[in-house]
């Protein structure tokens, strides 16, 4: 306390000068309309700047909370639609698929074996071999998890082979990426008995246990028969833009382990 007083006393002339400057500035402003106007404009500009920054910060957190809530609602809606849709088409057990929302943090699409990272992991009950989709199509399958994140084998991976089917039929083949355009794929091993047309829709075939049957995948651009084989090779464009991924949904098949155990016994 005494040290502070000594500092103030030793600088009393400077402090008195500053005080007089402030008083002079206030008197000038009060006695001149122009100065008052300019000062008011400056105060308004400064206040407006800080108001915009505070609004932006509040909006960011509000929108994030709103988007997270909307994503969860979408996940619940997708789960309900899946259950209704597949009860209408094929028998599935109640609650067979659980849908969990997530966000893509990193997304590769320029290599031969691409992966992506999402912001959900073991703490969110995410485990390997869960399917990942968007509202517009299939994205990939969970490969590895940590506590808070997961790595997904993208469909843009030459080792990925996902079962797909011609919509409203039982004709199916396998989705295969050629390593070129990230939104164009080949579908191989589609039987020649399938009545294909350009523009037809391809959906998940439901044989892998990663995805239920009927999720959108893409549309047929062109097709041709394979010499010496009774199958088509199809050129397909995805409905999902694989270069612009944000919100995604992780699909947990609650009966996958049981179904896999029966396959192993074949």
Are residues 208 and 92 part of one domain? no
34-79 pLDDT, tens digit per residue, is 444 444 445 445 444 554 555 455 555 545 554 666 666 676 666 6
pLDDT of 82 over the 80 cut = no
Are residues 89 and 101 part of one domain? no
pLDDT of residue 11: 62
pLDDT of residue 51: 46
pLDDT of 30 over the 60 cut = no
Are residues 227 and 164 part of one domain? yes
225 pairs with which residues across the strands? 232
Q: How far is CA 231 from CA 171, 173, 189, 194, in A?
A: 11, 9, 5, 9
Are residues 120 and 77 part of one domain? no
Residue 258 domain flag: no
pLDDT of 21 over the 70 cut = no
Are residues 82 and 119 part of one domain? no
Residue 78 domain flag: yes
Number of structural domains, the chain? 2
Are residues 83 and 119 part of one domain? no
Of the segments 57-61, 94-98, 105-109, which one has the largest average pLDDT value? 105-109
- CA-closest candidate to residue 252, choices 101, 71, 77, 87: 101
Lowest model confidence (mean pLDDT) among 31-40, 75-84, 108-117, 255-264? 31-40
Domain hosting 33: range is 17-96
Are residues 173 and 142 part of one domain? yes
Are residues 218 and 136 part of one domain? yes
User: What's the whole-number mean pLDDT along residues 186-202?
Assistant: 95
pLDDT of residue 70: 66
205-247 pLDDT, tens digit per residue, is 988 889 988 889 999 999 999 888 889 999 999 999 999 998 8
pLDDT of residue 67: 66
Residue 9 domain flag: no
- CA-closest candidate to residue 118, choices 95, 137, 141: 141
Q: Residue for token digits 């001149």?
A: 32
pLDDT of 111 over the 80 cut = yes
Are residues 228 and 134 part of one domain? yes
């Amino acid at each position: 306390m005494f040290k502070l007083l000594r500092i103030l006393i030793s600088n009393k002339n400077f402090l008195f000068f500053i005080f007089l400057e402030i008083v002079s500035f206030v008197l000038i402003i009060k006695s001149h309309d122009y100065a008052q106007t300019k000062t008011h404009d400056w105060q308004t500009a400064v206040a407006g700047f800080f108001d915009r920054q505070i609004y932006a910060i509040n909006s960011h957190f509000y929108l994030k909370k709103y988007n997270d809530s909307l994503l969860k609602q979408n996940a619940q809606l997708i789960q309900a639609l899946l259950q209704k849709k597949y009860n209408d088409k094929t028998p599935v057990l109640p609650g067979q698929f659980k849908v969990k929302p997530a966000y893509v943090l990193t997304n590769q699409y320029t290599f031969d074996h691409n992966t992506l990272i999402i912001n959900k992991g073991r703490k969110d009950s995410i485990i390997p071999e869960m399917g990942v989709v968007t509202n517009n199509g299939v994205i990939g399958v969970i490969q590895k998890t940590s506590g808070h994140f997961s790595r997904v084998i993208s469909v843009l991976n030459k080792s990925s082979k996902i079962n797909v089917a011609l919509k409203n039929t039982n004709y199916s083949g396998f989705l295969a990426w050629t390593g070129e355009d990230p939104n164009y794929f080949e579908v191989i091993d589609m039987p020649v008995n399938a009545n294909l047309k350009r523009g037809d829709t391809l959906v998940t075939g439901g044989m892998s246990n990663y995805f239920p049957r009927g999720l959108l995948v893409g549309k047929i651009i062109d097709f041709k028969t394979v010499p010496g084989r009774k199958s088509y090779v199809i050129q397909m464009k995805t409905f999902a833009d694989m270069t612009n991924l944000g919100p995604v949904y992780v699909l947990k098949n609650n009966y996958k382990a049981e179904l896999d155990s029966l396959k192993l016994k074949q």
